[in-house]
Amino acid sequence: MTSETALSVFVIAGETSGDHLGGALMAALKAKTGGRVAFTGVGGEAMQAEGLEPLFPFSDITVMGADAIIRRLPQLLARIRQTAAAVVAQKPDVLVIIDAPDFTHRVARKVRRQDPSIPIVDYVSPTVWVWRPGRAKAMAAYVDRLMAVLPFEPGVHARLGGPPTTYVGHPVLETLLPELPASDHGVEAEKRPVLLILPGSRSSEISALLPTFGEAVARIAERVEGVRPVLPAVSHLADRIEAEVADWPVKAEVVRGREAKLAAFAEARAALAASGTVTLELAVAGVPMAVAYKLDAVARALRVVNRVFRFVNYTTMVLPNIILEEHAIPDFLEEDVTPEKLADAVVPLLADTPTRRRQIAAFARLDALMRLHDGALPSERAAETVLDMVRTKAG
């Protein structure tokens, strides 16, 4: 890129969450270059809205579940080859791959073998800090810069021999915090506290957790007068959830849409949640929680093997706990996911107790660890990192 030419960026996302990250990154790159940037690659609606010219429909590679991947494997492999060939033919100023390592990293490795001069930036680290740590060193051969969304990841990659890594901030700092309504988290409504119920965003998670969550809510209601269960539901699952909670002994309210979710987060006194990114959203929003998860058959088998060979390195599945390096939030896995244990963990969070205050204090420490100290947004810091990579290669 020169002062007369536009920056050429080839950007690849492999799933919906990556598409949202890519859209925000593209908007920030346009802002920082005065619009002198052209995008090509693979992405969905968010990236296309920012000017992406997609190689093929996003749905060709957004495949969930082992069975679906096996059925569509020939198409997926063909798309990997097509994408890598397009990158090499275009020879962009930079290739940005976003999450979805089963697709994006395969493309990156092919590009590196065919044209080592193209700089490659990876946005979102694989979970090398949980399992398969050897991936970090392997990535160093084909990733020139890694943009991490968790604050401890630069240290992890330095220790494991991974690529140079920059913490650019987690997207919840940009997508959740600015939109949250002002809240005292139900201090005034403590006599009828809102309890968020978040059984996951996948059908399998809901099947595994929602019945137990319902039994836990019944026990909580016996001990906390007036408790109000509220379930923010993903749109395509809302009807199903409404049907399943209809016969709960405590009337539960199912809310739909982003505004309703944000309002529920602002009003909530506590939450009972499945493990996942939502735990980080709750912590950032200041909502104390208890967390549960049940594994699928493959993960359950790996858990048994791990007791012998110890290839998974963390004893908690809750992201805020991992970032804090302390067990601030109670979590329950597999056989420990019982109505009694969940109720015992949630009840102290609904009143002004030392248990509740300890979690809130932990959230303050988490906020200090996660925020970018200069006040930049994650998408802005990511764009700066990409432009720095281009300048470094050009120099």
pLDDT top residue among 249 and 299: 249
Residue 130: pLDDT over 50? yes
- Mean pLDDT, to the nearest integer, of 294-303? 51
The pTM assigned to this predicted structure is 0.86
pLDDT higher at 8 or 66? 8
Tens-digit pLDDT profile for residues 72-123? 778 889 999 999 999 999 999 999 999 999 899 999 999 999 999 999 999 9
Q: Is the pLDDT of residue 296 over 70?
A: no
Q: Is the pLDDT of residue 252 over 60?
A: yes
CATH topology agreement for domains 7-169+373-394 and 178-370: yes
Q: What is the pLDDT of residues 33-74, one digit of tens each?
A: 999 999 999 999 999 999 998 999 888 887 555 555 666 778
Select from 335, 294, 89 the least CA-distant residue to 207.
294
Residues 6+ apart with CB under 8 A from 83: 12, 41, 42, 55, 107
The residue ranges of every structural domain in the chain are 7-169+373-394, 178-370
Fold category of 178-370 in CATH: Rossmann fold (3.40.50)
DSSP 281-316: HHHHHT--EEEEE---HHHHHHHHHHHHH--B--S-
CATH class of 7-169+373-394: alpha beta
| pLDDT (mean) for 385-390 | 97
Answer with the residue of higher pLDDT: 2 or 182.
182
Kindly tell me if the per-residue pLDDT of 308 is higher than 80: no
